[in-house]
Amino acid sequence: MTRYLVGLQKDQTSKLAYEQITGREPGIIFLPGLKSDMEGTKAKFLHSYCEKKHRSYIRFDYYGHGKSSGKFEDTTIKEWYSSLEILFKELTLPPQILVGSSLGGWIALHFAYKYPEKVKGVVGIASAVEFTDGIYQRMSKAEKEELKQKGYCEIPSDYDDGAYHISYRLITQGRRYKILSKNPYYKCPIRLLHGLNDNAVDPSVSKNVIQKVKARDISLHLIEGADHSFSDERCLGLITRAIESI
């Protein structure tokens, strides 16, 4: 059943949508990708997995996504990241295992860096760490000019519904959440999974993460034939094995 945390943004009617099942700890929180939500294949698969394992689990929609308040075009990583902070604060959660897909992988790593006492482990699936920098670097001169003049531009996407609405605010806010230049250190285990056929987030991103991140226990598994969705039976099994290794 979908629940809501209400009035936790400037708009007092704002709603943050989530679903929660209770069970043994540490629990698992699934962080979806950009323009995805808690009804995706991986989110629902982990719901069933946690029910069978009697483990607590939360799946949710960032602000600007799914059943939560706000339009995607009006939100950036600031609102998406704050969605996770709000869940921890308002639900008084004990330390959790964060499973992040694409954008969710970036948010999970940043959260674990900022709040190490709240995270038991991170599983990053095609983690799109600092993807806003990559978008800006790949823009043509004309696109960058349009971005500054109009405040946004449309970037074609082979993976989503044809195009991403990229705002100037998204690019600038993204710079505030960079972590790799800080040479971050993690006490918790980190498991990175990335398909070698990923056309949305190049596997080199995860390779860069494992080169820049310092941790007691970190691994990268590159999977032949897997794409960005990482949602077939084989890939879902790899996600649960990564969780169980933590």
In a domain, 139, yes or no: no
Domain coverage including residue 112: 3-131+179-245
What is the pLDDT, as a whole number, of residue 155? 77
Q: How far apart are CA 180 and CA 208, in angstroms?
A: 9
Helix, strand, coil percentages for the chain (3-state, nearest 5): 40, 25, 35
In a domain, 174, yes or no: no
In a domain, 9, yes or no: yes
In a domain, 157, yes or no: no
In a domain, 167, yes or no: no
What is the pLDDT, as a whole number, of residue 152? 87
What's the pTM value of the predicted model, to 2 decimals? 0.95
| Residue that the structure tokens 């987030």 belong to | 201
**66 and 39 in contact (C-beta within 8 Å)?**
yes
- Residues labelled catalytic: 102, 198, 228
What is the pLDDT, as a whole number, of residue 159? 57
What is the pLDDT, as a whole number, of residue 7? 86
Q: What is the CATH number of the domain that holds 185?
A: 3.40.50.1820
What is the pLDDT, as a whole number, of residue 6? 95
Digit-coded pLDDT (tens) for 70-84: 999 999 999 999 999
In a domain, 145, yes or no: no
**194 and 203 in contact (C-beta within 8 Å)?**
yes
In a domain, 53, yes or no: yes
Q: Has residue 178 got a pLDDT over 70?
A: yes
